[in-house]
Amino acid sequence: MNIPLTMFLVFIAITLGITYWASRRSAGASAYFAASRQIKGWQNGVAVAGDYMSAASFLGIAGLIAFYGYDGFMYSVGWLVAYLTVLLVIAEPLRNAGKYTMADVLAYRLKPRPVRATASLSTLVVSAIYMIAQMIGAGTLVKLLLGGMVTYNQAVIGVGILMIVYVVFGGMLATTWVQIIKAILLMSGTFLLSILVLAHFHFSFSQFFAAISQVTYRDAKGAVVVKDFLQPGLLYKAPYGPLNLISLGLALIFGTAGLPHILVRFYTVPDAKTARHSVVWAMVLIGSFYIMTTFLGFGAATIVGPDYIKGHGGTNMSAPLLANALGGSIFFAFISAIAFATILAVVAGLTISATTSFSHDFWTNVIHNGVERKPGEEVTVARISAFVVGAVAIALAIVLQTWNVAFLVALAFAVAASANLPVIVLSIFWRRFNTVGAVSGLAVGLLASIGLILISPSVMGIDPPTVTGAARHLIQAKAWFPLDHPGIISIPLGFVGAILGTLVTHEPASQDKFNELLVRSNTGLGAEKATTH
Amino acid sequence: MGNAGRNLEAAQPQYQASQLTWDKIAESKEFKDLMATKKTFIVPAFIFFVVYYFALPVLVGYAPQFMSIKVGYLNLAYLFALSQFFVAWIIAGLYVRAANNFDRLAEDILNKAEDAKGGK
């Protein structure tokens, strides 16, 4: 039997076992949406890392380094540093003042219905964008990793059904443990592979870096070139390269702390202090992971070579091909199974955050004025919406498979940074802030990020007729906006929208309740407690 | 705001108090101390890491010659990028230390508030 497939099946069997175990502990809203708030600090930290490090991190960044050397490494830095915003500014106030979603914090002193409706919309948009990117990647990767044994559509449907099962039956508890197992697998696979790379160079950094300084490959015209891969400038070229990276950096620094599927994780721990410790755990794992990814990327560049990777599946296959070269087919299968686990853990996290927001914010609080018509309605609605989210994600991933969707992850971060983060921060820190400000901030941030992406080189460009299918730009015209990453413009616009909306209106009630939110978010007075079974 | 009252059920946590109580806590010396202590750490730390982080793309993008200077078998650009990870970890560690102090200050406020509620 095919070894990668066997490993995939083993992982599926283990996670389904966990889902069964979790399903018997997921009765009640706090259990279903927040794992009864009983997840330990280190567990939540590992789960945050598992929720965050997508296949784009694991395979994508290793591939970037294998093809562009240093610039790929520089790209990876912001993904860790962004957690300082989560740690210093967001995690603890959110845990102290909220219940299940980020909108809980906003609804505290603002008018609940308009604010929850807009925040829920923004949450769903961010989750949907991120989800489509993950699902299309899943289809392509699983097909590639299993050597064509399954088709793209089968892979997408399989991943979709699994994530529905985890979330519908196991809720947040099952999602958490799928993420923990994935993170442990990912860390150990990356560690083993890094050790094998160093062993290849006889554990001599000087040999390793000597090889990195002269990587040989064929350029676009077919001429053989030798490049120093430690040298910056292979990816981020003038005139707009550095500005693009700065704009991406802004989206990461402000966007990570506005990603709904990361934020909901902080409701699963008993208190704000545990939330704090879990961010630190996550930072240790995520940072070590990106440093090791350097070894993977440089290892793939020097041991496998960009030309070979190009001929065997492209950039995303850099890490699996390196595993094959260093550890043979069993190690290839192991790394492939890790990539598969990585995808599943992330889509499950996205599904639960989207369904929590729909059910808690939109259904219960916007449509039914904060009243559950019968006990357990909120969880039932969440389970049904998990089905819908899964079905829609499968359908979109199949319909959009021939589209060029490389811009989607950047867009998700841009929306989170431009719409969600400004209103969360202003609602916690600015007494004058009010409902109109929140709604206009969310709307402006959302529209600005999407609008700017649509006119960016990610979507607009003129391809020669030889470029076909998913590689073609969606709009065949010269881009109107020069950057791929809209953050540098859209984040300030989000803040301006929120501030202007506030200044043109008066809402004494929101100012009156500011002290309450300030005290609650900073002291944890009256914060949601862990529940017992 | 007509629905705010009913919203309490689904959106608000257990501890309820009058606006007067919240204002009193917010105006108390203990709470002001807590906020001041937090600010003294968080604001400089935030500014420092943002500046330190954006120095990377700015220097690499606009001073590539300088960043290409070799240091042993590495170069400045690589070392600076690598240092980002350690700096982030150090700031996180310092924050956790400082936050233990925040917890102590918050503890006093919590105890007082619970006492005022009648040992609830």
Beta bridge partners, A226, equal A216
Q: What is the mean pLDDT of residues B22-27?
A: 90
Tell me the C-alpha distance between A20 and A18, whole Å: 5
CB A163 within 8 A of CB A344: yes
* DSSP label of A317: G
Instruction: Give the pLDDT of residue A221.
Output: 80
Chain A environment of B110 (Cβ under 8 Å): 523-525
**Tokens encoding A39:** 């997840």
B76 in reach of chain A (CB within 8 A): no
CB A530 within 8 A of CB A270: yes
Beta carbons of B14 and A283 less than 8 Å apart: no
Kindly give, in sequence order, each residue whose CB lies less than 8 Å from that of residue A467, ignoring residues fewer than 6 positions away.
none
Q: How far is B78 from chain A (nearest CA, A)?
A: 7
Instruction: Give the pLDDT of residue B51.
Output: 97
B27 pLDDT more than 70: yes
Strands B70-71 and A215-218, sheet pairing: unpaired
Number of helices (H), then strands (E), in chain B = 5, 2
Instruction: Give the pLDDT of residue A1.
Output: 57
Tell me the C-alpha distance between A119 and A94, whole Å: 15
Tell me the C-alpha distance between A319 and A43, whole Å: 27
Q: How far is B16 from chain A (nearest CA, A)?
A: 8
Residue A506, sorted as left (phi over 0), alpha (psi -120 to 50) or beta, turns out to be: beta
Strands A224-227 and B70-71, sheet pairing: unpaired
CB atoms within 10 A of CB A268: 28
Tell me the C-alpha distance between B57 and A352, whole Å: 35
Chain A environment of B14 (Cβ under 8 Å): 526, 528-529
Q: What is the mean pLDDT of residues B82-111?
A: 94
Using alpha carbons only, what angle is made at residue A88 by residues A83 and A90, rounded to the nearest 5 degrees? 80
CB A309 within 8 A of CB A301: no
Cα–Cα separations (whole angstroms), residue B110 to A254, A294, A429, B15: 31, 46, 21, 11
Q: In terms of Cα–Cα distance, which of A153, A33, A40 is closest to A100?
A: A33
Chain A environment of B17 (Cβ under 8 Å): 516
Beta carbons of B77 and A74 less than 8 Å apart: yes
**Tokens encoding A276:** 């704090």
Chain A residue closest to B17 (CA)?
Answer: A516
Instruction: Give the pLDDT of residue A463.
Output: 83
Tell me the C-alpha distance between B94 and A398, whole Å: 47
Instruction: Give the pLDDT of residue A477.
Output: 83
Q: How far is B57 from chain A (nearest CA, A)?
A: 6
Indicate the pLDDT class of residue B12, thresholds 50, 70 and 90: very low
Closest partner residue to B64 (CB to CB) among A232, A245, A253 is A232
Tell me the C-alpha distance between A503 and A510, whole Å: 13
Chain B residue closest to A360 (CA)?
Answer: B10
CA atoms within 13 A on the CB side of A271: 9
Cα–Cα separations (whole angstroms), residue A240 to A243, A412, A474, B39, B58: 5, 21, 21, 36, 12
Beta carbons of B35 and A522 less than 8 Å apart: yes
Percent of chain B with pLDDT over 90: 53
Interfacial B residues in 3-32 facing A (CB < 8 Å): 3-4, 6-17, 19, 22-23, 25-26, 31
B120 pLDDT more than 60: no
Q: How far is A395 from chain B (nearest CA, A)?
A: 33
B13 pLDDT more than 70: no
Q: In terms of Cα–Cα distance, which of A80, A522, A473, A421 is closest to B113?
A: A522
Q: How far is A509 from chain B (nearest CA, A)?
A: 9
Instruction: Give the pLDDT of residue A311.
Output: 85
Chain B environment of A382 (Cβ under 8 Å): none
Closest partner residue to B31 (CB to CB) among A283, A378, A519 is A519
Tell me the C-alpha distance between A151 and A136, whole Å: 12
Domain range A3-24+40-399, CATH architecture: Up-down Bundle (1.20)
Chain B environment of A364 (Cβ under 8 Å): 10
Interfacial B residues in 54-73 facing A (CB < 8 Å): 54, 56-58, 60-62, 64, 67-68, 73
Residue B75, sorted as left (phi over 0), alpha (psi -120 to 50) or beta, turns out to be: beta
Q: Helices (DSSP H) in A215-317: which residue ranges?
A: 241-255, 260-263, 272-299, 306-311
Tell me the C-alpha distance between A467 and A391, whole Å: 31
Beta bridge partners, B71, equal B74
Beta carbons of B73 and A206 less than 8 Å apart: yes
Beta carbons of A369 and B3 less than 8 Å apart: yes
Cα A217 to the center of its chain, rounded Å = 32
Element (H, E) at A13: helix A3-23
Output the CA torsion sign for A141, A144, A146, A149.
positive
Per residue of chain A (533 residues), give pLDDT as tens: 578 888 889 999 999 999 999 998 888 888 989 998 999 999 999 999 999 998 878 888 899 999 999 999 999 999 999 999 999 999 999 999 988 999 988 988 899 899 999 999 999 999 988 898 888 888 888 888 887 788 899 999 999 999 999 999 999 999 999 999 999 999 999 999 999 999 999 999 889 988 998 888 888 788 888 888 988 888 888 778 889 889 999 999 999 999 999 999 999 999 999 999 999 999 999 999 999 999 999 999 999 999 899 888 888 889 989 999 998 888 888 888 898 889 999 999 999 999 999 989 888 888 888 887 878 888 999 999 999 999 999 999 998 887 777 788 888 999 999 999 999 999 999 999 999 999 999 999 999 999 998 898 888 888 888 877 777 888 888 888 888 889 999 999 999 999 999 999 988 888 888 999 999 999 988 888 887 65
**Tokens encoding A42:** 């280190």
Nearest-10 crossing angle of helices A421-429, A514-523: 100
Beta carbons of A231 and B75 less than 8 Å apart: yes
Q: How far is A71 from chain B (nearest CA, A)?
A: 9
CB A224 within 8 A of CB A64: no
Tell me the C-alpha distance between B119 and A206, whole Å: 66
CA atoms within 13 A on the CB side of A108: 33
Tell me the C-alpha distance between A290 and A292, whole Å: 5
Q: Report chain B's mean pLDDT, rounded to a whole number.
A: 84
Beta carbons of A518 and B95 less than 8 Å apart: no
Chain pair A-B, CB pairs under 8 angstroms? 183
Beta carbons of A84 and B92 less than 8 Å apart: yes
Closest partner residue to A283 (CB to CB) among B67, B92, B109 is B92
Chain B environment of A209 (Cβ under 8 Å): 73-74
Instruction: Give the pLDDT of residue B9.
Output: 38
Q: What 3-state class would DSSP assign to A424?
A: helix
Question: Which H, E and C letters describe B69-115, residue by residue?
Answer: CEECCEEHHHHHHHHHHHHHHHHHHHHHHHHHHHHHHHHHHHHHHHH
Instruction: Give the pLDDT of residue B1.
Output: 34
Chain A environment of B60 (Cβ under 8 Å): 74, 232, 236, 242
